[in-house]
Structures are given as structure tokens and as C-alpha cells.
Structure 1
Amino acid sequence: MYKVFVNDKPLFLTNEIVKETDFQLFLLDSVDIDKIIIKYFQNKIQKAFLYHPNEKEILKKIKEKIPVQKAGGGLVYNAKGEILFILRNGKWDLPKGGIEKNEEIEQTAIREVEEETGVTGLEITKKLQKTYHVFKRNGKYKLKITHWFEMKTDFDGTAVGQIEEGIEEVAWLNKLQVKAAMENSYENIKLLIEDSAIL
């Protein structure tokens, strides 16, 4: 099962039909994906399932219906064990961004962290899960698939937010501060933090 966030609400891609009552179920093959996404953005849907019997085909099917943007990002630790966060649009987020032509996704993740925060000396320590969310750009909906990497750095300079990306603040947060930041973050970031067993 995949969890895609639309307007910070879950859209599950599944090959199982579960007996619940608080959601809507749609068949992936016949659904008009744009109509569902619009309903999410209008707050008419809080949670839905898109069903397809073959789990291996689910992601391929959704990619046929909605353009995909690939992105890379970092969950970065410094020498003190603090995690690098950015504040953008009034919410705590992790640095990430879109892949460029002829770039490996690991290069994307490192480049985006450096560009968005000014932090250098990054080393990837492991690959984390991917997150999925739908966003709107130039009147079109797109599915952003972000490949996340755990990184470490000995950087001890001043981190500076990329102004043209709307980054208001860059901060190294300890566990307690991360917990507080999660009260004002995105669902896919919360998922990543939970999965990384940080808290």
C-alpha cells in the first residue's frame, strides 16, 4: 500500500479492500484522478482509497494518470545529533527539491540540501523511504515522489535559507525541538520522522 498526501490528507493506493466506513473507495482503472484531487483541495474528501488488484501495477497506473516530478531530500544530522530543518510557508520541513537533467537522485538530494540551507560537507549514510504528495503547478496537478536520504555532516558554520525558495529559517533541532516542530509540519515529514525512529 502507498500513502499519497493530497492537501495533507491521505489517499491510499491499495490492492486490498478493507471494511471501513469513513472513506471513499474508487477503482484506479476507471477513476478521474483530477476530480478526486479537486475534491481533496475543496475539503470534500478527507480520506480515500484507490483500488487496483495488482500491487506491482498500482504506482505505474497512477503515473499514467498524473504527471510525476521526482525529487531528492535529506534528513541531515550534525556532529551533535541534531537534525537540519527549514521553515517554509510557516511550516517545518526538510530540505528537498526536484531532480535536474542527467543527475543521479543522490546528487539531487545533496545539491538541494546545500542550496536550500548553505550546509556543506554532506555524506549520505543510508537511503530512507520515499514519500508521495500531490501539488499544483501552473494549473496542473502533479505527483511528487521524493527520495529521502539520511546524511551526516561536520558542518559548524552558519546555515542560511535560500530566499528565492521562500525559506524563512534554517535550524538544527534536537529531539525535543523536533517533537515540537512536528506539531507544525507536513504529514509526509511526520511519516518520515516516525519511520526513522527519531522520536
Structure 2
Amino acid sequence: MGDFQPEAHVKGSWGLNFIALICKRSSAVFFAVSLLKSIAQMYKVFVNDKPIIFTTSFKNEEDFPVYIYKNTIIQELIYKLKVGKLNGFYIYSNNLIEDWKDFKVKFKVIIAAGGLVLNGSKKVLFIYRGNKWDLPKGRVEEGENLMEAAIREVEEECGIEKLIINKELLITYHLFIQQNEYRLKETHWYLMFSNYEGSLTPQLEEGITKAEFKNKKETIEALQNTFANIVMVYESYLDNID
């Protein structure tokens, strides 16, 4: 499906109010998500829910420090995020596409896919893993395309059937440590629908202890105990409601 292009639009104030509501538990998460919605062109990567924001312009530079990509040792800044010396930072670039490509080649990239699934009542399918609510997703296996992987992962993690992909929502990025090295996970998210009415079965061997559909109120509560990337996925769904 090619490389995802940078965001190039500004959402309305309702979206920011919604983000403020669900992120009230953490000012860092609120800044991480709300700032991303207000920047003209950007890529974003999360490290422990703290953002690295690649941009050609910025409005709220007082919130996070700004570094010029060509003059920056990225690994040093990532370490500062990890140990709490930074809560996030901007990377300014005058050639965003090329600098983003250069950043990506510094890491082994893991391609994953997942879904925000709605049922007939417009409830959202969540999983519970590692003391946080999450959305079902997983790595793309050899021979699969992105949509096939997304459907398979949702089926496996939730025990659900009759999945239909409606549209692609967005791509999220986060860095994680594996074998003492940072990996960059690139997750392709799809809006899905299912009229399945059977029991859901969480994939226990993957550490998932719950799989359940949540109404709007329950969804907002779940989003207060999730990752910044998942908040972005839900916000993307709201932005794409016809």
C-alpha cells in the first residue's frame, strides 16, 4: 500500500475537546495527541507514549524542545525519552519525506495490522492485555497482505467471525526494545464491521484476558487506560464517520 503520507489537515475543536476528556489522566498523553492534530505536516513515533514529532512547521514549540534532524543524534534523544529526561520532542525537517525515510532505515521495521471493529450497535471491540485496554492487531506474516493480516489477527485475538473491512484508517508508529535493540513497529489500522453475535474468546496465550464490545461511555473509560496510538486510532474513526 506504499509509504503513508504525512498528515496535512487540521481537525475541529470538538476533536481536541474529546482528546482532552479521554486523556485527562495524563497531561503528557494529552499533549502527545492534541499537538499531533494541530501540526500541518508531520510523522509521529511514540516511545513509551512519548512522541517524536517530525514536522516542517510547528505552532506550540514551547511544549516540547525542537531539534534539527541533520544536526541530531536520534538515539541520544530516544534515550532521554526512555529515562524521563524528555516527555517528547519535535524534529524539524526541510525535507520531511527524505528525512523520514532516513530515520526508518536506522531500525528494523516490523509491519503489523489491526482493526477497530464495530458491531451492529456501533459498539467498539476492545481487548485487555498487560493491564491496559487495546485494539486487536499483530504482525503481518509471510505471504499475507495487510488486510488479510488485519482480519486474521482480529479473529485470533478475539475469537470473532464475519469480519468485513470498511476502510483504512491510518498508520501508527512506535519504538520498542527487542533483543536489546529498538525496533520500529508500523501498524496499519482498518475500520471493520461484524454482525457476529456469538461469544468472544480472548487469546490467552498472547496475554489477552478480555475481549469485549464497549458502548460509547465504556469506550471513553477504556481510552483513559490505553496507549496514545490507540487514542489516535479512535479519533481517526470519529473523523471518518460519514
Q: Which range, TM-score by smaller chain?
A: over 0.9
Structure 1 residues 116-141: Cα deviation after superposition (integer angstroms, max 9, x where no partner)? 11111111011101111111112111
- Residues of 2 paired with 1:105 and 1:194: CA distance? 21
The match for 2:126 among 72, 80, 85 is 85
Normalising by structure 1, what TM-score?
0.93
Match of 2:32 in 1: none
Query: 1:51, 1:64 → 2: CA distance?
Result: 18
Secondary structure, counterpart of 1:197 in structure 2: helix
Identity %: 41
Which structure has the higher relative contact order (CA within 8 Å, separation 6+)? 1
Compute the displacement of 1:104 (Å). 0.3
Q: Which has the higher strand share?
A: 1
Q: In 2, distance between residues paired with 1:21 and 1:67? A: 32
Alignment pair present for 1:41 and 2:85: no
Contact 1:79 1:154 in 2 (8 A): yes
The 5 A counterparts of 1:1-199 are 1-16=42-57, 20-197=61-238
- Partner SS state of residue 70, structure 2: coil
The 1:141/1:80 distance shift into structure 2, 3 A limit, reads same
Q: Deviations for 1:130-157, whole angstroms, at most 9, x for unmatched residues?
A: 1111111121111111100001111111
Extract structure 1 runs of 4+ deviating beyond 6 A.
none
CA RMSD of aligned residues (A): 1.7
Cα deviation, residue 62, structure 1: 1.2
Bigger Cα displacement from structure 2, 87-96 vs 60-69: 60-69
Shift in Å, 1:15: 2.1
Structure 1 residue 30 displacement after superposition: 4.3
**Structure 2 length as normaliser, TM-score?**
0.77
In the aligned structure 1, how far is the partner of 2:60 from the partner of 2:224?
30
Q: Secondary structure at the match of 2:182?
A: strand
Shift of 1:33: 2.5
Give the counterpart letter for 2:147 in structure 1. Answer: E
Deviations 1:61-97 (A, max 9, x none): 2112222111100000112211110011111100001
Paired with 2:128 and 2:171, the residues of 1 have a C-alpha distance of 21
CA contact (8 A) 2:56 2:93 kept: yes
CA distance in 2, matches of 1:19, 1:161: 41
Find the residue that maps to 2:222 and give its secondary structure.
Answer: helix
Contact 1:71 1:147 in 2 (8 A): yes
Instruction: Structure 1 unaligned segments of length 5 or more: list them.
Output: none
Q: Which residue of 1 aligns with 2:9?
A: none
Check conservation: 1:122, 1:153, Cα contact below 8 A.
Answer: yes
User: What amino acid maps onto 1:6 in structure 2?
Assistant: V
The structure in which a higher percent of residues are helix is 2
